[in-house]
Structure 1
Amino acid sequence: MLKRILTIASVSVIASYLYAKLLEKRSYKSFLYEIMIRATKMKQPFEKKANAQKALEFVKEQTQGEYEGTNYNFDNAVYTKKIHNVTNYIVNDKEDRQQKVVIYIHGGAWFQDPLPYHFEYIDTLATAFDAKVIMPIYPKIPHATYKETFELLEEIYRRELEQKVSSERVVIMGDSAGGQITLSFAQYLKTVNMSQPSDIVMISPVLDGTFSHPEVYNYEKIDPMLGVEGSKYLISLWAGELSLTDWRVSPIYGSFNGLGKITISIGTKETLYPDAVKLSQVLNAQGIHHNFIPGYQLFHIHPIFPIPERAQFINKLKKIID
């Protein structure tokens, strides 16, 4: 019996490996992470409004107070600094005005603090680019809206420029909700007459909070992590008094002229994929150079996870940013 079980298990592993490598043409590790994502029901809070409300209620006390910190063991030197009474993680700061600066805006559907993977990712970024990486644990819903985070990011950005760091050496990057904030904040910088960062990098960004693209529901069916109804409810809280078509919430409705160089990374198994393609088409129609990096058969925020596709993404990014 044991021998039979082991044989069946071995055949299953080999079959799934061949499926991932030959048919889906991606790493087996990414395949296993997708299984983990589905098994842990990461999508559940986003499938229905009631689920999102329940998830928000569960974490709101935790996100209201001071961030408790991380157990991640950084390879690079790291310290924290309070700005606007918000904890900021600062990694690999060499106090060199020529050093590249990455302001990283983590995802979490506007209501969650960063995942452990986020800390590993910014540590990896700091090493790959020899960059100073700043990751603010920005205020979350239901305690705040977009306003407080824009004020925080403006202060962080202003302080870097006041230290004689050229904006041409600054990259603003974010994933998921953080990707939405990244592009909206770059658009906001124009309204306050501040110089643009060299690069605006979005990983699986939420671009349209209305989720009105006719294809989103087709992609929602294959997305292991995000759903429409819950996500729309959460971003409506982030919007505060604003319409969901306001560029400060849905940057696809904003202006793209005069922005830093835009890079979009998106998986083809994402609810957000149609809007990412739409943004690329809009930029092409306007003659705006940008980079579009699709992750074939890959899931939401896949570069954040420790899979081979992360290294592939960072290598592509190095060619774009460097």
Structure 2
Amino acid sequence: MPSPVMEAAAELLRHRRARAEALQLTLLQRRAAFEANAELSLAATDVEAEPTVLSGVACDRLNGTAKEGTLLYLHGGGYCVGSPRTHRELAGRLARSANRVGVLPDYRLAPEHPFPAGLEDALAVYRSLCETEGEPPALAGDSAGGGLALALLLRLRDEGRPLPPRVAVLSPWTDLTLGGASMQDRAGRDPYMSKAALAAFAEAYATVGDRERPLVSPLHADLTGLPPMWIEVGSEEVLFDDAARLHDKALAEGVRSTLFVGEGLFHVWQAVPEAPEALAASDRIGAFLAGSST
């Protein structure tokens, strides 16, 4: 059963979703609201962010005294909203748990910059980190950032570049065709995300013809040769099948994969500051990224 903190967060998300739907917010209005709603997590964090620029991409550098390498974290937001500011608390907490320096890029967003702009930015930052650190960073992301992390892995593999040692994806959006059965059968249970909102994000990010491409929808890719994956998803999510199908496909294609299901939880619950479930997730995911768990 979810903790009281999580129950309160779910109720807040239901309220915000109902308001956005009632007001018929545009993507740009949703972006502004998402930034405004970040105040709760910003108030809860003690992560210090140092601005930097890597290969022309503005980034936040987090947890600068860590000793075990770097974590490249790609934020969620449907490829249309979100920023280093909105995800600083979550990315910093995970990086600290893994004892890694976090790097959080401000990659370009749709609709102004549709596919493949965000992927190009992620690749540029990754290559810069490999050059400056002398080794590949670990990789993580949530929601669309999880899908972007997987697309980055595919791009690196296909170009013969060094791969991250491990990747963790939280509630990853892996199928922009919205083909998972959970889009319908969990629609009444998900307090946060809806198929209609995801459809609007998908339309802004990629053309209909591009949405089955592996670099847009990694679920449609051959995953052979990718590094070990840690996948987390809430049991109540419309995106549940995006995570579950990714896990099954990874195992079938020889990729080591672990799927953790948060019972009674919602999309990217790991981002709720100070909730016991989120703190446990930090320890769990951090241990995986640090290489101390399978």
Provide the TM-score with structure 1 as the length reference: 0.79
| CA shift in 2, pair 1:136/1:260, >3 Å | same
Q: Structure 2 vs 1, CA of residues 217 and 115 (structure 1 numbering), >3 Å: closer, same or farther?
A: farther
| Residue 272 (structure 1) aligned with residue 250 (structure 2) | no
In the alignment, residue 53 of structure 2 is paired with which amino acid?
K
Q: Counterparts in 2 of 1:160-175, with a 5 A limit? A: 160-167=129-136, 170-175=137-142
Aligned to 2:253: 286
Once the two structures are TM-superposed, the CA of residue 42 in structure 1 deviates from its matched residue by: 6.4
Deviation at 1:73, TM superposition (A): 8.2
Q: How far is the alpha carbon of 1:117 from its aligned partner?
A: 5.5
Look up the match of 1:39. Answer: 15
Superposition map of 1:150-189 within 5 A: 150-167=119-136, 170-189=137-156
User: Match for 1:81: what amino acid?
Assistant: T
Consecutive unaligned residues in structure 2, runs of 5 or more: 35-40
1:118-161 deviation per Cα after TM superposition (whole angstroms, max 9, x unaligned): 21112222322221101111111111022222221112111111
1:249-299 per-residue CA deviation (whole Å, 9 max, x = no partner) reads: 110001211111111100001000022112222223334221111100000
CA contact (8 A) 2:165 2:228 kept: yes
- TM-score norm. by structure 2 comes to 0.86
> Residues of 1 paired with 2:251 and 2:87: CA distance?
31
Q: Which residue among 93, 96, 115 is the counterpart of 1:146?
A: 115
- Which of the residues 64, 80, 88 maps onto 1:119? 88
Alpha-carbon distance change, 246 to 111 in structure 1, aligned in 2, over 3 angstroms: same
Paired residue type of 2:98: F
How many Å apart are 1:59 and its aligned residue?
Answer: 5.8
Q: Secondary structure at the match of 2:246?
A: helix
Q: Specify every segment of 5 or more residues in structure 1 that has no aligned partner in the other structure, as ranges.
A: 1-24, 64-69
Distance 1:259 1:33 in 2: 34
User: What is the CA-CA distance between 1:317 and the residue it aligns to?
Assistant: 1.8
* Distance apart, 1:163 and its partner CA: 1.9
Q: Check conservation: 2:229, 2:258, Cα contact below 8 A.
A: yes
Q: Which amino acid aligns with 2:178?
A: F
CA distance in structure 2 between the aligned counterparts of 1:275 and 1:269, rounded to whole angstroms = 13
| Alignment RMSD | 2.7
Q: Answer yes or no: is 1:79 the counterpart of 2:47.
A: no
Match of 2:37 in 1: none
| Equivalent in the alignment of 1:19 | none
Mapped to 1, the partners of 2:169 and 2:158 lie a distance apart of: 21
Q: Displacement, 1:84? A: 5.2
Letter in structure 1 aligned against 2:287: K
- Identical columns (%): 20
Alignment correspondent of 2:278? 310
Q: 1:43 to 1:139 in 2, by over 3 A?
A: farther
Deviates more, 1:294-303 or 1:190-199: 190-199
The 1-side partners of 2:53 and 2:194 are apart by: 34
2:14, 2:32 → 1: CA distance? 27
CA distance in 2, matches of 1:227, 1:76: 31
| Structure with the greater alpha carbon radius of gyration | 1
8 Å CA contact 2:206, 2:216 repeated in 1 = yes
Report the CA distance shift for 1:276/1:71 in structure 2 as closer, same or farther (over 3 A). closer
Distance 1:191 1:44, change over 3 A: same
- Choose the corresponding residue for 2:176, options 209, 212, 219: 209
Give, in whole Å, the separation in 2 of the partners of 1:265 and 1:166: 26
Per-residue CA deviation, residues 19-55 of structure 1 (Å, 9 max, x unaligned), is xxxxxx221211111111112226845x9xx94xx42
Runs (4+) of structure 1 exceeding 6 A deviation are 60-63
Matched with 2:4 is: 28
Structure 2 distance, partners of 1:310, 1:143, is 33
Q: Does 1:227 align with 2:194?
A: yes
CA offsets per residue over residues 67-118 of structure 1, 9 Å max, x none?
xxx9768634431123454421011234x8x632111111111111238662
Given candidates 131, 139, 155, the residue that maps to 2:100 is 131
Deviates more, 1:277-286 or 1:28-37: 277-286
Cα distance between partner residues in 2 of 1:80 and 1:110: 22
Determine if the alignment matches structure 1 residue 110 to structure 2 residue 79: yes
